Structure 1
Amino acid sequence: MMTMNNKARTIITTDGEVDDMNSFLRYLLYSDCFDTEGIVLTSSVYHYAGDPAKGIEPYRWTGSEWIKDFIDLYAQVYPNLKIHAEDYPSPEYLKSIYYIGNIDSPGEMTKETKGSKFLEDYLINDTDPRKLYIQTWGGTNTTARALKSIEEKYAHQPNWPAIKERIEKKVIIYIILDQDVTYSEYIEKNWSIEVINDRFNFWYFAYAWKMVESQLATRLQPKWQLSLRDNYGPLLKKYALIGDGNVLEGELEEEQRGIDQYLEKNPDYARFDFISEGDSPSYFYFLNNGLRNSDDPSYGGWGGRFEKVAGARKYINSAMDYNPYNQRYEAQYTLTRWFDDIQDDFKGRAAWCVAKTYDEAAHYPVVSIKKGNDQQVTPGETVQIQAKASDPNQRDLAFKWWHYFEASTYQTAPVPTGAEFESMGLLFGKVSEKLAKPPVDPIKLVRENTETVEVKIPENIQSGQTIHLILEVTNGTLTTYQRVILIAK
């Protein structure tokens, strides 16, 4: 179940590429799961509005109205969505929190803009104890300008250390790539803010998805994509696909993936193939779907798995999982292993756009774990982990337990780390032979397709080591997860 308690707070910053648009469309369908505090248009090295006074021409700039246009389409399906989840924000509210930030040129952070002022005021006046995730789908420049304004106004005041510490403890910046220099040149040097940096895995849900094994990409193909686009109302109809005739004003011709000429020059793509949602992993990461992805970046979930950078409050997605389809460890599989689940969930929610009664569509199974999701265990004992599940529409439920051995700290053979190869090797799937050795999973599950699973705890597990068990409960359309962490005494 997508839990509404303790929803994550977030502010989206975006530069308006076609994949940003697709990611925003999906985000609207999941907006009941978050407290969306702001939406800010920004620039990047790939997209900017230009500055005539400085002789800077626009580059691949798609304008500032597209967000409002998408919200207008959301408004058409909003009454239906509210039938299925009451926490969907109103279209009027979403428009009220939309601001134009620093958009003139790549890394522009000299000006105070409506977007930077919104961020500045929000951070200064924020009293909510929850973390604040600033999603960065483009450049960090508007966020950097807001932080710079705060520094300029408060750095000489007696309470500056307290202000700075409060912001640093509360804010998490999730960066998709580094799309300008303002993080490295300003934020990283002046602020100790936690950063989740998706440097390369997003590509596999973006323009490099053709590199994903075919078994993992079945729901990125034309037939499936058209079934999503064409059957769920006006909002989904706007979902962009390869060769769909969609033309973005301001975009370069070679980047117009909707036109026939793109198909002619890129024969690897079929008409109505998936294009990209490279920014969606930024909110998959803190989506409260039971996988506890954001509890610890090393746990893994829809947003991938991350490793901590030594000596920094930064995590990068270089953690590796074993991909059985190509029989090697790779970082991208921490994301691509979830593609079927991610897409099926998307289509399940899309059905809410057209189902006019609660019983016409599926909803998330309600699942809990008896004795809690963190349980202490003793070496050598046999434990039973019991779940309790029900379906809101009284649909039949199927259960599947499995051991996420790469996320567990108890391992008979250590999982390779990202330090064992270079990041470009990750991006292009080149790994050394030693990373291709199949893993030996020491944890055996009994009755893994029932509510109650049985597991024998290894005799040699050390105190504090963990075993991560994942439970998937599905009604055939939507799936609820639970992660149970067994901790050795």
Structure 2
Amino acid sequence: MNRQLSFIASAFVIVAGIVPLVRADNSSTVSDKPRIITTTDLGADPDDEQSLVRLLVSANEFEMEGLIVATGCWKKSQADTKMLDKIVDAYGECVDNLRVHAEGYPSLEYLRSISVMGQTGYGMSDVGEGKDSPGSDMIIASVDKDDPRPVWVGCWGGANNVAQAIWKVRATRTQAELESFLSKMRVFDILGQDDAGAWIAKNFPDLFYIRATGVYGWQPSDENLDNHIQNHGPLGAVYPDRKWATEGDTPAFMHVYPNGLNDPDKVDQGGWGGRFSTTKIAGIRSMKPVTNEGDFDPYLMYGNTSEGSKAIKRWSDAYDNDFAARMDWTITSQRSDANHHPIAVLNGDRTRRVLDISATPGGTVDLNADGSSDPDNDALTYAWSFYEEPSSYDGEVKIQGDSDLSASVAIPSAAAGKTLHIILEVHDDGEPRLYAYRRVIIQVEAAK
């Protein structure tokens, strides 16, 4: 079957090949995995191919519901899915090995079923009556599922697949139905690469829309990629050398990567995909070839905080080693030949959720990582730190036992009515060293 049309045949089996999560008590539950759709302007720059390799070796962490070939200001037309198919097929050569090392990797057949063409033309010129595509239909079908989790659409090129989906829903449903649809969608736009993003933000101001511009400066070195990525089997072979910047699109899925570090809906918390202002910003412009966004002023989007890519770079050891370890998984069917991630437990909680705790000014909060473990029985190292940037309190915070299994946070009297974000970082001593995180937000009561 032509993969451009495969969505029609697969719309009703879109969750096939995904292994559901199970609670610690072994009871079945709705998966906690983030639901993602990726739209990519493959062929515009090698960085899309690079980001796809990292995404696919991380595929067990997500429920991937669409891989859509898209256009953008550097690639204004698309004709087929051949570049996407090549990378997906390389994944197919590795998936059996990957499944030795972690549960939840989708089958090759499933990924082929969600690899489709999106809008073949550029920007808003390819949005409107009669412009539906397998990609825009896939977005609608995904958001329409009876699933309480939002759908994160990563726009690695232009955003006109999202625009066409929204246009169709607005044209065919009631206002209430449109609002319900939009409430389940999240858009993570890399740099803005057509005029559709501005059109969306202008006409649907309540839509959760991030435009990330701080996407350069966090990337691994060329030497790192040579040594740990590109020489690793079929997926390493389809990870090209950079032409400009490396993996500029990766923050779109790193933001929702479920590593215990952040809640993606709380954009100011900060994680592997960056940190963003909680107040939408007017006029975040697209890349230079997009010249007509002023026609949509004012439009509002969530944008990067002043830290820019430094908010990503602070976690570089963890995400570089995560990628390297996963590439190791692709080339060995022996579990003992590779390293695997530790599990961080915070105050008895074994999930990856951010925890909230209340405290009184001048008091203490006791935290512990008891129960944390490593599947390879590696030794674990613990680090507790105050993450100042997302905290509303900006003074000094003392943590007793900041490298121990248990720690005690001294709550400053001046922190009354403020929040303190505390990060637990656990890493093993394997090769490469792998990390797990937990975050607790301490809400300090107001002074009485």
TM-score (norm 1): 0.75
The residue aligned with 1:265 is none
2:162 to 143, 149, 154: 143
CA deviations 1:227-252 (Å, max 9, x no partner) are 1135421111221124xxxxxxxxxx
Contact map agreement 2:81 2:115 (CA 8 A) in 1: no
How many Å separate the matches in 1 of 2:141 and 2:303? 31
The residue aligned with 2:221 is 220
Residue range with higher mean Cα deviation, 285-294 or 183-192: 183-192
Structure 2 letter corresponding to 1:398: T
1:64 to 74, 78, 81: 81
The residue aligned with 1:46 is 74
The residue aligned with 1:376 is 358
How many Å separate the matches in 2 of 1:475 and 1:105? 47
Q: Counterparts in 2 of 1:31-430, with a 5 A limit?
A: 31-49=59-77, 64-107=81-124, 108-110=126-128, 111-123=131-143, 125-154=144-173, 160-186=174-200, 188-190=202-204, 192-198=206-212, 200-205=213-218, 219-222=220-223, 224-242=224-242, 257=243, 275-310=245-280, 316-320=302-306, 330-370=307-347, 373-388=355-370, 389-412=372-395
Matched, 1:457 2:411: yes
Structure 1 letter corresponding to 2:159: T
**SS state of the match for residue 183, structure 1?**
helix
Matched, 1:485 2:441: yes
CA deviations 1:33-67 (Å, max 9, x no partner) are 11111111111111022xxxxxxxxxxx6963011
The residue aligned with 2:48 is 20
How many Å separate the matches in 1 of 2:138 and 2:409? 51
How many percent of aligned residue pairs carry the same amino acid? 29
Contact map agreement 2:155 2:190 (CA 8 A) in 1: yes
1:195, distance to aligned residue in structure 2 (A):
0.5
Unpaired runs of 5+ residues, structure 2, are 1-19, 22-30, 283-298, 350-354
Contact map agreement 1:32 1:86 (CA 8 A) in 2: yes
How many Å separate the matches in 1 of 2:222 and 2:138? 40
Contact map agreement 1:44 1:138 (CA 8 A) in 2: yes
**Larger Rg computed on CA atoms:** 1
**SS state of the match for residue 138, structure 1?**
coil
Contact map agreement 1:293 1:302 (CA 8 A) in 2: no
**CA 1:296 to 1:121, structure 2 compared with 1: closer, same or farther past 3 Å?**
closer
1:356, distance to aligned residue in structure 2 (A):
1.4
Structure 1 letter corresponding to 2:197: Y
CA deviations 1:168-221 (Å, max 9, x no partner) are 2110111111111112124531463111110x211334xxx6xxxxxxxxx414
**CA 1:190 to 1:225, structure 2 compared with 1: closer, same or farther past 3 Å?**
closer
CA deviations 1:451-483 (Å, max 9, x no partner) are 1112211012213x2111111111132100111
**SS state of the match for residue 352, structure 1?**
helix
**CA 1:311 to 1:165, structure 2 compared with 1: closer, same or farther past 3 Å?**
farther
**CA 1:133 to 1:310, structure 2 compared with 1: closer, same or farther past 3 Å?**
closer
Moved over 6 A (4+): none
Contact map agreement 1:318 1:331 (CA 8 A) in 2: yes
TM-score (norm 2): 0.81
Structure 1 letter corresponding to 2:366: Q
The residue aligned with 1:424 is none
**SS state of the match for residue 367, structure 1?**
coil
Unpaired runs of 5+ residues, structure 1, are 50-60, 155-159, 210-218, 243-256, 258-273, 321-329, 413-441
**CA 1:310 to 1:84, structure 2 compared with 1: closer, same or farther past 3 Å?**
closer
**CA 1:87 to 1:299, structure 2 compared with 1: closer, same or farther past 3 Å?**
same
**CA 1:191 to 1:331, structure 2 compared with 1: closer, same or farther past 3 Å?**
closer
Task: Report how many aligned residue pairs link the two structures.
Answer: 387
**CA 1:317 to 1:186, structure 2 compared with 1: closer, same or farther past 3 Å?**
closer
The residue aligned with 1:467 is 420
RMSD: 2.2
**CA 1:122 to 1:486, structure 2 compared with 1: closer, same or farther past 3 Å?**
closer
Structure 1 letter corresponding to 2:136: S
Structure 2 letter corresponding to 1:284: M
Contact map agreement 1:196 1:314 (CA 8 A) in 2: no
Structure 2 letter corresponding to 1:197: R
